[in-house]
Structure 1
Amino acid sequence: MKKVIRRFLVLLWLVAMLSSYWVFLPPLNPLAVGFWMFVLEGLILVFFAVFILAMADSVEGQTGSTFRGRKEVTPLKVADGQNIRRLGGGILLILILLFGLNLLNSRIFRAKSYANVISVKEADFNKDFPETNISTLALLDRASAEKIGDTYLGTIDKVSQFGISNDYRQITIGQQPYRVSPLEYKNFWKWLSNRKDGISYYVKVNQTTGKAELVRLSEPMKYSDSEFLFRDTLRYLRFKYPFTIFGDPSFEVDDEGNPYYVATIYQPKFMLASKDPVGVILLNAATGETKEYALDDIPEWVDRVFSANNVITRVDDYYTYQDGFWNTVFSQTGVKKTTDSYNYISIGSDIYLYTGITSATADSSNLGFILVNMRTREVTNYKLASATESAAMASAEGEVQEKKYRATAPTLAKLNDKAYYIVSLKDDAGLVKSYAAVDAEDYQQVTVNNDIETLISQFTDLDTSVLSGSGSGSPQTDQDIEIIKGVVEQLGSQMISGSTVYYISSSGKIYKVKATEDSTDQLPFLKVGDRFSGELNKNNYLKNFKIEVEKSE
């Protein structure tokens, strides 16, 4: 009887451990906490198995003698008791060691080590922050991209078999910001019917223009997150790299549109604590080919190596623990932190996370903006006294409070050397109904318009038609420039979003000139009868405006 129980328990232990490994896929690496959780699970199961066997031994060893009508049961054997105590002691020792190592390597004892994981370059927003290229202005948030992408599902063959994954990861293709997401099998039975053919489509949504495309692949994806067996991306990579610590694979496409899954490789920074990226594994979703890269060798088309959580945690550590842990508890001298909102912007072919930096008191003002390259984790702090993102969102909502629109996380833009938050305003159905440009330095200055082209054109001389996909968004070339010359016949002015705009009537047309820091000092003294010249831009704005002074004979 005892042998049968022992064999059954061994078989049950093997099934439980294999099932646990299949589901949780821990790395077989002693530097991973998941590995020790897996070991503890096995030891705890062995502990209960030994205890059950010992109890079976005890019952089997009943003496048959009675004491006052009751049978006596033989106590646990010495060897069984020792095994149980050893197993219990081993489990307790591992738990104590894990807790102790975690405590000793926590921010309480190693605050300055955490603060020095990254370095931050200091810069001035007005001088060093790049002027926003409006052709790459990411206006669509994730929720809006999902709504647009879902409308294209009905255009595919076998529409009943597939859905669209909720990944919608922000990347750049070329230099354009997109959110991309693969199709996925709707359930196990749909997968069973279609797994041989694979997944032939993914959706990409342009975040600037809002235009979406359902991309058909020349070679379908055989590896995805919606697979159920060995071609599940995480399981496939775990069996191929059993000792490597890596995160959940995320979907990206290269500049040619080929689908990949990117798994960031991690190593703990302090013993078992504080994982930090050291490289990536790229999985070709069509062929199953994989390749491991160190951080310095990652292909440039890969946009997201570092997660937002890792980036923000490291930035917070840098600004919080420069003077040690206890300073954050008591005096809080020099303690800063990131704000409660962040977003992404595209600069060139890279994705950058930006967020505000505020004081420990967390009021409604920023001390500057942090810009982090999500591929290299290069961090720059651009100093600029400004409103927090939350304050800007509230200000934008206040401009349309009668409509009860809700603001999305703002996009930071630098237009004509000035910082603005560009905020999308949504109705209760989650549809974008309007846009707001909030002056980052004076968030009470808000301009709202239902048309994004018209809104942006009030703050820049660039061609804003690119925001609807019909223009370049770049400054005019020499061949496109039209020089206007004339005489002021009538003159007027008005304030628009904190800037003075002069209206000049000449030869039956009305031209507009916006007063900026670069405007000629003579602009405020412009009067009827003066001669002028300038370059004609959209909406009859004149750029490089000059007042021609008549020379005396």
Structure 2
Amino acid sequence: MKKVSRFFVVFYILAVAIAYYIILPPMNWHAPEFWEFAVFTLGPALVILILYSFAKRNIQLNGDNFVNNLFHRNRMQQVHLTKEDQLWAKVNKLCIVVLVVIFLFPFVSFALSSRLLHAKEYAQRIDVKDVGFNEIPEVDFTKTPIIDRDSSVRLGDKVMGNMTEWVSQFDVSNEYTQISYKDSVYRVTPLTYNGFIKYFKNRKEGIPAYITVDSTNGKTKLVKLKDLGLDGMKYVPSAYFNKKLTRHLRFSYPFEIFGSPSFEIDEKGHPWYICTTYTYKGVGNKKKVTGAIFLDPITGKSKKYDAGKIPKWADRVYPESMIVQELDDNGSLKNGFFNSVIGQDGVIVTSEGYNYLEKDGDIWLYTGITSANADESNIGFVLVNMRTHEAMRIKTAGANETSAMKSAESEVKNYGYQSTFPLLINIKGNPVYLMSLKDNGLIKMYATVSATDYQKVATVYSDEGLDALVKKTLNVLGTSDEISEESLKSATIKVSDVQRLNVEGNTLYYILADDGNAYKIAFSTKYENQLAFLKAGDTLKIRYIDADGVKTIKSIEEEKSVK
């Protein structure tokens, strides 16, 4: 019997060790995974011990005898128990207590630390400061991520397909982390092992490269580590056994709670995995970032940084889902939990998506904020630094992102293009949504929609460039991009010919004067009387700007005279 007992003890310890090696839970009571692992591994063992103790004591599992023997309430009966029986009675009680604890404690702790009881505490876990729109810098298209994630994936797959020596051995990861790199914005993603067999074949050399996609122009490059004087990446998520990234991290930091590693590169192009560490209030509630572990996938060496001391080149420490949840809590729970679900007085929430902005060398998550009624307007916008957790709210009322997307799509509805989720930009002090219009995943056009009036839309074909889009946007908004009063010229012209063209929904007038000069002007209701019936022989007194050989009329000062 003792040999059988020893066998089961050894078998159990081995089974638990294997389970830990596979599941990799943090040995931290705040983590729900810890309690799940305890129930999965310790629960069955406790049940077996309880049943075994009953068998050893020969207890009748019914009526008062069970209760009395279990809790030793019958003193007369306890006198007849042997020392071994008394030992097993204590084991029995201990096992029941532990079993109850591992099953009930996580639920009790979760309930006691929930939003229901600590609403204002949840609302305050992100500090959002109100700022003016000028906090968003004037748009710089060398730092504006116009290429979205879906397009980046297509570009990455295309460049990988050209690497014939690697395409059968490696795949491309779907990470595509948005980062600030070399004074611009990029998405970066590593290669991954193409299955178990390919891992064994290539494990000594490791992952040989990663892909960068310039988010401003779509230029894609496969960066070979050997060209940087580096060896291959061996500690990666797609590896197996002890080289698997999450397993290597867990063995190095058994008590840390961390999320999914994020692939980034530093300013020298060296690859890193950044793994955010957390803690909770109670078990699994009010998630809070405590720092980040930086792991070198080439050597396996790592270093933990506390929150607030993260190296500046890193970009993604606070994950998007957590930021959005914090913003929703901040906007909905400040007046209590019940108000957030019943009265909803003053409740605001984030809009249905997010995007990224580059600001001061950091990546900021951008999203709109709207009322809980989910109408078609935003009451402002929020920017959150994904490295430092700094948060800013801009109170600019206007159309929400979904309305802007529909407005842009309606401008080109004959093509059936689909809009990407917009990005808020600053054009000459105007809040404007910027988005791409795509056909079967390929960018065909760029569009801007005024964030304060979604009926003001400008579109250009992608090959025209974003500078052309800015000029067209300013015309639509009724402002000027490079004009000062001193740069405007005045003239009185006699119309020789006039042509009207519709360019992506905007009517342009091309006017030929009798002196041979050509002018153009976008139709505006302000000059409806002068332009609606304009014909040869009419006279106009205008102010215009002559830039790059194009004479653009900016104002018409007098009514036309009819010949």
**TM-score in terms of structure 2 length:** 0.79
Show CA shifts across 1:116-146 (max 9, x none).
1121111233x44322112222122211111
Answer whether contact 2:425 2:434 (CA < 8 A) is retained: yes
Amino acid at match of 1:149: G
> Which of 129, 140, 144 is the aligned partner of 2:136?
129
Which position in structure 1 is the counterpart of 2:309? 297
Structure 1 position 100 matched with structure 2 position 108: yes
Answer whether contact 1:341 1:390 (CA < 8 A) is retained: no
Answer whether contact 1:461 1:543 (CA < 8 A) is retained: no
Show CA shifts across 1:8-34 (max 9, x none).
322232222112211221222233332
Answer whether contact 1:13 1:45 (CA < 8 A) is retained: no
Show CA shifts across 1:491-519 (max 9, x none).
88999999998978687454567899xxx
Distance 1:21 1:510, change over 3 A: farther
Show CA shifts across 1:213-250 (max 9, x none).
01111312122111102122111111111222222211
Measure, in 2, the Cα distance between the counterparts of 1:542 and 1:273. 60
Q: Counterparts of 1:389-408 in structure 2 under 5 Å?
A: 389-408=401-420
> Which of 455, 462, 474 is the aligned partner of 1:444?
455
Measure, in 2, the Cα distance between the counterparts of 1:542 and 1:404. 32
Q: Counterparts of 1:28-107 in structure 2 under 5 Å?
A: 28-50=27-49, 53=52, 83-107=91-115
Show CA shifts across 1:388-441 (max 9, x none).
1112222223333344333221122222322222222333x3223333322222
Which position in structure 1 is the counterpart of 2:392? 380
> Which of 236, 241, 244 is the aligned partner of 2:248?
236
Shift of 1:177: 1.4
Answer whether contact 1:372 1:379 (CA < 8 A) is retained: yes
Amino acid at match of 1:140: I
Distance 1:410 1:270, change over 3 A: same
Shift of 1:304: 0.7
Show CA shifts across 1:21-68 (max 9, x none).
112212222333322333333321312432564588699xxxxxxxxx
Measure, in 2, the Cα distance between the counterparts of 1:541 and 1:352. 40
Q: Counterparts of 1:192-207 in structure 2 under 5 Å?
A: 192-207=200-215
SS at structure 1 position matched to 2:126: coil
Answer whether contact 1:252 1:262 (CA < 8 A) is retained: yes
Which position in structure 2 is the counterpart of 1:368? 380
Distance 1:529 1:395, change over 3 A: closer
Measure, in 1, the Cα distance between the counterparts of 2:188 and 2:311. 18
Answer whether contact 1:280 1:294 (CA < 8 A) is retained: yes
Amino acid at match of 2:224: R
Structure 1 position 540 matched with structure 2 position 555: no
Q: Counterparts of 1:316-395 in structure 2 under 5 Å?
A: 316-395=328-407
Measure, in 1, the Cα distance between the counterparts of 2:144 and 2:444. 18
> Which of 148, 151, 154 is the aligned partner of 2:155?
148
**TM-score in terms of structure 1 length:** 0.81
Which position in structure 1 is the counterpart of 2:442? 431
Higher mean alpha-carbon deviation, 316-325 vs 186-195, is at 316-325
Which position in structure 1 is the counterpart of 2:424? 412
Measure, in 1, the Cα distance between the counterparts of 2:551 and 2:312. 39
SS at structure 2 position matched to 1:443: coil
Show CA shifts across 1:127-184 (max 9, x none).
4432211222212221111111111113333331111111111111122111111011
Measure, in 2, the Cα distance between the counterparts of 1:319 and 1:143. 30
SS at structure 2 position matched to 1:363: coil
Measure, in 1, the Cα distance between the counterparts of 2:142 and 2:178. 16
Which position in structure 2 is the counterpart of 1:173? 181
Distance 1:57 1:508, change over 3 A: farther
Shift of 1:370: 0.6
SS at structure 1 position matched to 2:273: strand
Answer whether contact 2:186 2:215 (CA < 8 A) is retained: yes
Distance 1:115 1:484, change over 3 A: closer
Shift of 1:294: 1.9
CA-atom RMSD in angstroms: 3.6
Shift of 1:260: 0.3
Measure, in 1, the Cα distance between the counterparts of 2:544 and 2:246. 64
Answer whether contact 2:130 2:393 (CA < 8 A) is retained: yes
Distance 1:545 1:444, change over 3 A: closer
Answer whether contact 1:264 1:279 (CA < 8 A) is retained: yes
Distance 1:402 1:542, change over 3 A: closer
Q: Counterparts of 1:466-505 in structure 2 under 5 Å?
A: 487-489=491-493
Which position in structure 2 is the counterpart of 1:68? none
Distance 1:545 1:251, change over 3 A: farther
Show CA shifts across 1:166-218 (max 9, x none).
11111111221111110111001100011001111101111110110011113
Shift of 1:327: 1.6
Amino acid at match of 1:489: I
Unaligned runs of 5+ in 1: 60-75, 463-474, 477-482, 517-523, 548-553
Answer whether contact 1:265 1:278 (CA < 8 A) is retained: yes
Measure, in 2, the Cα distance between the counterparts of 1:531 and 1:361. 48
Distance 1:510 1:128, change over 3 A: farther
Answer whether contact 2:339 2:345 (CA < 8 A) is retained: yes
Answer whether contact 1:420 1:439 (CA < 8 A) is retained: yes
Distance 1:81 1:340, change over 3 A: farther
Show CA shifts across 1:249-307 (max 9, x none).
11000111110000112122467522211211111122222122122221111011100
Which position in structure 1 is the counterpart of 2:468? 457
Answer whether contact 2:460 2:469 (CA < 8 A) is retained: no
Answer whether contact 2:349 2:370 (CA < 8 A) is retained: yes
Measure, in 1, the Cα distance between the counterparts of 2:196 and 2:504. 55
Amino acid at match of 2:24: L
Unaligned runs of 5+ in 2: 59-83, 474-480, 525-530, 532-537, 558-563
Higher mean alpha-carbon deviation, 354-363 vs 241-250, is at 241-250
Answer whether contact 2:179 2:315 (CA < 8 A) is retained: yes
SS at structure 2 position matched to 1:333: coil
Higher mean alpha-carbon deviation, 138-147 vs 286-295, is at 286-295
Measure, in 2, the Cα distance between the counterparts of 1:298 and 1:349. 14
Answer whether contact 1:386 1:440 (CA < 8 A) is retained: yes
Percent identical pairs in the alignment equals 37
Answer whether contact 2:317 2:387 (CA < 8 A) is retained: yes
Measure, in 1, the Cα distance between the counterparts of 2:546 and 2:300. 55
Measure, in 1, the Cα distance between the counterparts of 2:89 and 2:551. 90
Higher mean alpha-carbon deviation, 257-266 vs 398-407, is at 398-407
Higher mean alpha-carbon deviation, 20-29 vs 196-205, is at 20-29
Measure, in 1, the Cα distance between the counterparts of 2:551 and 2:289. 49
Amino acid at match of 1:359: S
Measure, in 2, the Cα distance between the counterparts of 1:287 and 1:488. 74
